[in-house]
Structure 1
């Protein structure tokens, strides 16, 4: 394992341990943690680019990713609850980031056919992808998206961590995977696979309580309305038409007070809730697995060795 890989592994683990502890206690991770991790990642990346005498295209990709990353934390977004707002400075920033990404791809020979520079092209793309996944509610928490963005800057390309990872891709697809399946995506996939233990655990918990309702037994548990858990979303509601319905995937940020009152009025004292899972814990495990074991999806698809 080279010095850059070791630094990234140590830094990522340390920051994610802090994030996991905060997420477990409060279900919140403050932005300065991700800003710090992303900034540290850029410092390590810049050092590596200097040591490797990387071409200007690698610097351009890194600069584009940095602009997009910091835009998440600073300045007001273009879209808010009341609609779209044309903010010239922010639009100009995005245009600059776009030009910095497109320019190396447009100049013949600017991106070497080998080395880490081609994989660097995916770094700005993944910042945008994680933001989009959050908007689409595929990533349920802002910390999830910001954490993956920070990891993208910390480990923009696959690290030289020999003898790790233990699971490597088939040589016939390895070079392509390094571009279309960046390291941070491996972290997310590994974390998602680890997270599959949660519904299994919930089902076992409900089975022991003889609550066999499907599918909610895989997604939550029954709780008393007069002692509703703090870190949980209500899955049952009484609609304005008086219908008692089950919401398998409640929207984040909703105030359950009115729903609780209506359920109580309907004679319900215990309702299904789904826990606000501290995803930082699986993300920490996924980060370590990505570094030391590799892409678990390769094992599932039979593309690893």
Structure 2
């Protein structure tokens, strides 16, 4: 294989993305520091290549800067926008922004008798190819959900394409949101990470909660409270409550570390709206929990938390809308971009459309 030194260095993105995709499947957490070395490398390589095109003496020189501009000022903002509207997780957005910086133009790898990538778009912006490949591959998730539910006999349109049913005990290591509320199906149900945070805050296991729901519904049952962590799977709070198992202070996709103090039941504490919360009227101590922790527990409200707790204590199985590990199709899409090229462009070309 022959390639320029910058293009050879850019291959480092593949093992890093592969590791991040594995972490995304296992924990839905990727440390922010993962992307910093790649961003630094990308900026360095951009500077080196830009020097060679500064003369602007050929159309190739001008095209280089046009492609870099599209990657940095169109693809990267798209990644941020998807995160802002909730379409991407923080790690997904950071990964795509990193690719926009590291791979704005198509790399070229020469082998005996052939060259990779095989299919290069007219625009020639590699990060855009990664984005379109990723979106195309991610579209397989609803199809997979539908097929899985069809085989299991759970056919409910459109629910069967957006979630699946699991045993309540599996919530200890599940990702996503409850797809059910006391009022019916909703994709805005309780975040499962927030459920684990609540259990860790109270020092409870899910089995203990389910065994005595009436007892724990009473806010006076809250005694010593503990660090809720950020709800990640594989983390244990200082109180020993598991919804998962590891150390506290896990870094989230956004790079934030959640730390909380202890509190006691029966106190009047300040709620998120600045008003007083009388813990005696606070079922499940939901408001007390949310007022004591830092942040909002993934947008959880007291009503949403109470509804989710009712669901998991009353039922043996629940529907969930799983958090999609978007870094998996991004890794596969990037690998496909390095080898084949643009999947969408290639398909349209095979159909004679482009």
Normalised to the residue count of structure 1, the TM-score between the two structures is 0.68
SS of the aligned residue for 1:200 comes to helix
> Does the 8 Å contact 2:312/2:318 carry over to 1?
no
202, 205, 212: which is aligned to 2:155? 212
Alignment of structure 1 residues 93-242 onto 2, 5 Å: 114-125=62-73, 126-139=75-88, 141-162=89-110, 163-169=115-121, 174=122, 177-178=123-124, 182-228=125-171, 229-238=173-182
User: What TM-score comes out, normalization by structure 2 length?
Assistant: 0.59
SS at match of 2:325: coil
The residue that corresponds to 1:88 in the other structure is: none
Seen in structure 2, the aligned counterparts of structure 1 residues 129 and 16 have a Cα distance that, compared at 3 Å, is same
Give a deviation string over 1:115-144, Cα, whole Å, max 9, x none. 4122122233133232122112232x0001
Cα distance in structure 1, aligned partners of 2:105 and 2:169: 50
Q: Deviations over 1:53-96 (max 9, x none)?
A: x3289xxxxxxxxxxxxxxxxxxxxxxxxxxxxxxxxxxxxxxx
Backbone CA RMSD of aligned residues: 2.9
- Maintained 8 Å contact 1:225/1:260: no
**Which structure has greater helix proportion?**
1
Structure 2 counterpart of 1:284? 331
Q: How does 1:50-129 map to 2 (within 5 A)?
A: 50=51, 52=52, 54-55=53-54, 114-125=62-73, 126-129=75-78
1:194 positional shift:
1.6
Per the alignment, do residues 168 and 250 of structure 1 end up closer, same or farther by CA in structure 2, a change over 3 Å counting?
Answer: farther
- Equivalent in 307, 322, 345 of residue 259 of structure 1: 307
The Cα offsets for residues 27-69 of structure 1, whole Å up to 9 and x where unpaired, read as: 111111111211111122223334x2x3289xxxxxxxxxxxx
**Compared with structure 1, are the counterparts of its residues 250 and 42 closer, same or farther at alpha carbon in structure 2 (3 Å cutoff)?**
farther
Shift, 1:221, TM fit: 0.8
Distance 1:250 1:47, change over 3 A: farther
1:292: how far off?
1.3
Residue 248 of structure 1: CA displacement?
A: 3.5
Partner SS for 1:214: coil
Unpaired runs of 5+ residues, structure 2, are 192-297
CA drift of 1:226 comes to: 4.5
What's 1:68 paired with?
A: none
